[in-house]
Amino acid sequence: MAGEFSGWRLFREGLTRNRGWTAHWRDPDPKDSYDVLIIGGGGHGLATAFYLAQEHGITNVAVLEKGYLGGGNIGRNTTIVRANYNMPGNSEFYSHSLKLWEGMEQALNFNTMMSQRGVLNLFHSDGQRDYAARRGNTMAGQGDDAVLLDRDGVRAMVPALDFDNGRFPIYGGLFHPRGGTARHDAVAWGYARGADSRGVDLIQNCEVTGIDIENGHVTGVQTSRGPIRARKVGIVVAGRSSQVAAMAGMRLPIESHVLQAFVTEGLKPCIDHVVTFGMGHFYISQSDKGGLVFGGDLDFYASYAARGNLPMAEHVVEAAMTLMPAIGKARVLRSWGGIMDMSPDGSPIIDKTPVEGLYLNCGWCYGGFKAVPGSGFSFAHLLATDRPHGPAARFRLDRFETGRGLMDEEGTGAQHNLH
Ligand SMILES: Cc1cc2nc3c(=O)[nH]c(=O)nc-3n(C[C@H](O)[C@H](O)[C@H](O)COP(=O)(O)OP(=O)(O)OC[C@H]3O[C@@H](n4cnc5c(N)ncnc54)[C@H](O)[C@@H]3O)c2cc1C
C-alpha cells in the first residue's frame, strides 16, 4: 500500500487509462466486538485510529461514522493550519501538531496539498501591536516562527488591502511563515487510508444511538447497524459531543454553534498568504483553484443546523469590504456552515470521563482543523496508555468544574459564543 502513489505508479496508470486504481479503503461490516471503538469519522477520529495503529500497534479498532467519512467539519472548514497560540498548554500542543503536519504527506503517502504560505495577523492600533509582539515572543520561545512586520512590510506582501481605512488603518502584522493551508478532505482521506491499511475497520452509515455501561464501565455501543462490544470507547464527534456524551449520562460544558464560510469564483492570484483582520473576526486566503476562501464569526446562537443565517453573511462581507474593497467585484459562489463544539474557555478537552473505559475528545471551537494530527496523536496515546500525552495534559475535563487550569486564549470569559 505504501508505494501506491509512487511516481512510477502514476506514470503506469496514465498509460493504461487509470483503470488500475482500487478503492482506498475497505467497506467492512462491523464485527461483534473490538478493543477500541472511535465514535465519529471526522479528522480527529480518523487521525486517532491511524495513530493507535501506527504508534501503539492497536489495530482491533473500528471508527463508527453516522454519515460518510469526511462529511462533517473536516470537509467544511477553511483549512488554516498554524501554531500561533499564546497560552501554556495550547502553545506546546499546536506546536507539536504543526510538526506532525509537516511530516504528514510522507507519513500517509498521500498528497494533502499542505501549503506553508504563511499566516499574517494584522493589527490596527498600538495596543494590538504590543499584544502581537508578546504573542510573537511566545511563539519564538516555543521554537516556532514569528516575524513582526510594520505597515510597509505588510504592504509589500499584500498590496491589495486598504491600509488607510478611516476607522481601521493597518499598523502592521504578525507573520507566521510556517502556517498555511492544506486540503481538508484529503486529510480525512489520507488518515482513513492509512488507518484502513493497518487493519482498522472504517464503518460508514453507522450511527451510535446508545452507550452501554455496566457497573461504571463501558462495555460497548448501540448503533443503527446493531450492538458492538468494546473495551474502550472514544467520543470524537465535534458539534455532536453533548448529544453523544448524554448517551452516557454526561452533561458536557460544550455548546454547539454554527460557523459559516464562503468562496468566490476563481480569480487570478491576488493573496499569497492567509490574512486575518484585527478589528473583527474575518480571515481570507486564496485556494489553488483561485477562489477567495473567507469566513468570520459564529452565528451567535446555539444550533445544530449545518447552514448559516444572512445577518452573519452580511457582517462577514462588511468586514471583507473594509479590509479589501476590491473584493466587492468578486462573485460569491458558495457558502456553507458547520457545527462547532464551543468550550467555555475556547480550549479543547482530551481526557478520560467518569465512566471507566470511556474517553472524550472535543471543544475544538472553530480551530480544530490545524489540531487534527496533534489531537489524533494525543488521543491515541491516552486511549492506549491511560496517561495524557505531554502537550495535551492540560486539556482536562474537570477544569470547568474546579475552575483550575482554565485556558482562556481569547480573554473573553466564560461565554461560549465569544471564543
Ligand atoms: C466554516 C468552518 C471553518 C473552519 N475553519 C477552520 C480553519 O480554518 N482552521 C481550523 O483549524 N479549524 C477550522 N474549523 C474547525 C474545524 O473544522 C473543526 O474544529 C474540526 O474539523 C472538528 O473535528 P472533526 O474533523 O473530527 O469534526 P467532524 O468532521 O465534524 O467529525 C465528527 C464526526 O462525528 C460524526 N458523528 C456525530 N454524531 C455521531 C453519532 N452519533 N454516531 C456516529 N458518528 C457521529 C459526524 O457525522 C462527523 O462526521 C472550521 C470549521 C468550520 C465549520
Q: pLDDT tens digit string along 223-258?
A: 999 999 999 999 999 999 999 999 999 999 999 999
End-to-end Cα separation, the chain, in angstroms: 41
Decide: pTM greater than 0.75.
yes
How many whole angstroms from 274 Cα to the centroid of ligand 1? Answer: 21
The amino acid occupying position 60 is: N
Atom of ligand 1 nearest to the CA of 336: 1
How many whole angstroms from 205 Cα to the centroid of ligand 1? Answer: 17
Whether 347 is in the pocket of ligand 1, judged by its Cβ within 6 Å, is: no
Whether 364 is in the pocket of ligand 1, judged by its Cβ within 6 Å, is: yes
CA distance 236 to 350: 10
**pLDDT score of 269:** 95
Output the residue whose Cα is nearest ligand 1's atom 51: 77
Task: Indicate the helix (H) or strand (E) that contains 34.
Answer: strand 33-39
CA distance 51 to 36: 13
Whether 357 is in the pocket of ligand 1, judged by its Cβ within 6 Å, is: no
Retrieve residue 60's grid coordinates.
482491533
Residue corresponding to grid cell 495524557 = 388
Whether 311 is in the pocket of ligand 1, judged by its Cβ within 6 Å, is: no
**pLDDT score of 3:** 54
Retrieve residue 224's grid coordinates.
443503527
CA distance 196 to 118: 32
Retrieve residue 330's grid coordinates.
468578486
**pLDDT score of 418:** 87
Distances, alpha carbon 112 to alpha carbons 1, 181, 418, in Å: 17, 10, 31
Ligand 1 pocket test, pick from 283, 360, 366 with the greatest ligand atom count within 8 Å of Cβ, gives: 366
Whether 78 is in the pocket of ligand 1, judged by its Cβ within 6 Å, is: yes
Whether 187 is in the pocket of ligand 1, judged by its Cβ within 6 Å, is: no
Atom of ligand 1 nearest to the CA of 366: 15
Ligand 1 pocket test, pick from 37, 64, 73, 340 with the greatest ligand atom count within 8 Å of Cβ, gives: 73
Using alpha carbons, select from 41, 55, 50, 35 the residue that is nearest to residue 381: 55
**pLDDT score of 306:** 84
Atom of ligand 1 nearest to the CA of 44: 26
Whether 376 is in the pocket of ligand 1, judged by its Cβ within 6 Å, is: no
pLDDT in tens, the chain (419 residues): 445 788 899 999 999 999 999 999 999 999 999 999 999 999 999 999 999 999 999 999 999 999 999 999 999 999 999 999 999 999 999 999 999 999 999 999 999 999 999 999 999 999 999 999 999 999 999 999 999 999 999 999 999 999 999 999 999 999 999 999 999 999 999 999 999 999 999 999 999 999 999 999 999 999 999 999 999 999 999 999 999 999 999 999 999 999 999 999 999 999 999 999 999 889 999 999 999 999 999 998 999 988 889 999 999 999 999 999 999 999 999 999 999 999 999 999 999 999 999 999 999 999 999 999 999 999 999 999 999 999 999 999 999 999 999 999 988 888 898 88
Q: DSSP character for 356?
A: B
Whether 66 is in the pocket of ligand 1, judged by its Cβ within 6 Å, is: yes
